[in-house]
Amino acid sequence: MKVAKFGGSSVANAEQLKKVAKIIQADADRRVIVVSAPGKRHGDDTKVTDLLISVAEAYFDNDPYEDRLESVLNRFREITEQLSLSSDIVEEIRNDIQNTFDSTASDVLKLDSIKATGEDSLAKVLSLYLQSLGMDAIYLNPKDAGLFVSEQPGGAQVLDESYELLYKLNDRKQIVVIPGFFGYTKEEKLVTFSRGGSDITGSIVAAGIKAELYENFTDVDSVYCVNPTIVDNPKEITSLTYKEMRELSYAGFSVFHDEALIPAFKASIPVCIKNTNNPTGLGTIIVSKKEPQENPVVGIASDTGFISIYVSKYLMNRELGFGRKLLSILEDEGISFEHTPSGIDDISIIVRESGMPKDVEERVIARIKEELDPDTVTVDRDLALIMVVGEGMDSTIGLADMATHAFAKANVNLEMINQGSSEVSMMFGIKASKVESAVRSLYDTFFK
């Protein structure tokens, strides 16, 4: 039994939904389908979820929202017409949204309900369409599927008991279409996951039913070994481990929702990334373990937006507790640190720019100066991280040599090297302005 999840671009219009239906028909094991809300049909289109959020915002601001609502309804009107389905769903959406606004729920829960309308309605439309093609398919609400979550609007966490309930989906003979992105609390309140959370739903359901495979259909053939906006026609990755995927997605690979891998990872369910527009392509499969490869490097990821806080103090390493005190200051200020490379009398703390705005930075620096009496504290807000990722690289002699040579050839100074702490990656810090030339040189070194 497989779980197939279709992302926003795969369900953006009737034409795409026809492809989805063919994919479901092509494999009798595709028995649980999870869908996103309709995404962009073309470059400057607006996603249905964004339209819905704007409807809610207008409502909360007491502005007229009817035009915006009409845009949402038009998307579904167009889809149902083109698929020759009843357009009852259109009025249903209008009524549901009105009922939500009229309800006594809190504003945050109202917002979650509105946001979830896109996925929920599309799941209904797709099940109708599959039925119209003669397939034995039904829409299933997450509540009826057994997907229960914590009451954290916009950031729900799955409750452990869900997995046992979801397992019962194995008993159903029909194809089940479940809307992604949301679940219900034990009190039957609708709560959404974080944005992009349909991947999370798919992963939870796959873990729950102990699926043989979790297929994640999107609009790329596979995961590329490097950012294709930096390198033209890069190699495709056919297979990846969870760990490799996690390290790559940390530094900018956005194929898969970060949080979404957890349930699949814990249940060891293989995850396959496939293209709705080219479903017979191999795709990229993410597994727990894989055979050793000839080239231990599977991918090169890069991301900007990092800050380095550098602290030096003569004889720092003889001062018991210095590092712990430094990290405590960050924790106090609610700043999650990424890395802490340290020398003898120096330590750097790498944080994400988003995690430390300018005003917080000033307070943190003042506290470090006052509480730790260092010789120097400096902040560099212009750091990019590059990850060279692959299982087995920790035991391959000469890889660090190849990588550092690639940086030198591209005339890029290494602000930081962090190797050996992870078994599956080497991390390099460079000036953000040098990312493209560095990545191209690394690609040439490891993949050409």
Binding residues for ATP are 5-8, 218-219, 224
Using the minimum distance from each CB to its own copies, give the nearer residue, 72 or 389.
Answer: 389
How many whole angstroms separate alpha carbon 391 and alpha carbon 361?
36
Annotated binding site: 5-8, 49, 119, 218-219, 224
Q: Which residues, 6+ apart, have CB-to-CB distance to 205 below 8 Å?
A: 3, 32, 34, 145, 147, 166, 169, 178, 211
3-state secondary structure of 216: strand
Q: Min. distance of Cβ 429 from its own copies in angstroms?
A: 6
> Per DSSP, what are the bridge partners of residue 217?
6, 274
Helices 14-26, 107-132: axis angle to 10 degrees equals 60
How many whole angstroms separate alpha carbon 393 and alpha carbon 95?
57
Q: Min. distance of Cβ 344 from its own copies in angstroms?
A: 5
Phi/psi at 168 (5° precision): -65, -15
Residue 273 parent element (H or E): strand 271-275
Q: Min. distance of Cβ 397 from its own copies in angstroms?
A: 5
> Per DSSP, what are the bridge partners of residue 271?
214, 286
Q: Min. distance of Cβ 346 from its own copies in angstroms?
A: 5
Using the minimum distance from each CB to its own copies, give the nearer residue, 63 or 331.
Answer: 331
Tokens at residue 96, please?
């549901």
Q: Min. distance of Cβ 366 from its own copies in angstroms?
A: 20
Tokens at residue 414, please?
């290494």
Using the minimum distance from each CB to its own copies, give the nearer residue, 108 or 408.
Answer: 408
Using the minimum distance from each CB to its own copies, give the nearer residue, 139 or 428.
Answer: 428
How many whole angstroms separate alpha carbon 301 and alpha carbon 378?
27
Using the minimum distance from each CB to its own copies, give the nearer residue, 304 or 340.
Answer: 340
Beta-sheet strands, E only, within 335-393: 337-339, 346-352, 376-389
Using the minimum distance from each CB to its own copies, give the nearer residue, 165 or 402.
Answer: 402
Q: Min. distance of Cβ 30 from its own copies in angstroms?
A: 28
CA distances from 269 to 54, 85, 154, 289, 428 (A): 37, 35, 26, 11, 31
Do residues 394 and 423 lie in contact, with contact meaning Cβ atoms separated by under 8 Å? yes
Q: Min. distance of Cβ 211 from its own copies in angstroms?
A: 20
Q: Tokens 């009922």, residue?
A: 99
Residues that bind its own copies (CB under 8 A): 242-243, 246-247, 250, 262, 265, 310, 312, 314-315, 317-318, 320-321, 323-324, 327-328, 331, 334, 336-348, 394-398, 400-401, 403-405, 407-408, 411-423, 425-427, 429
> Per DSSP, what are the bridge partners of residue 2?
30, 213
Using the minimum distance from each CB to its own copies, give the nearer residue, 324 or 448.
Answer: 324
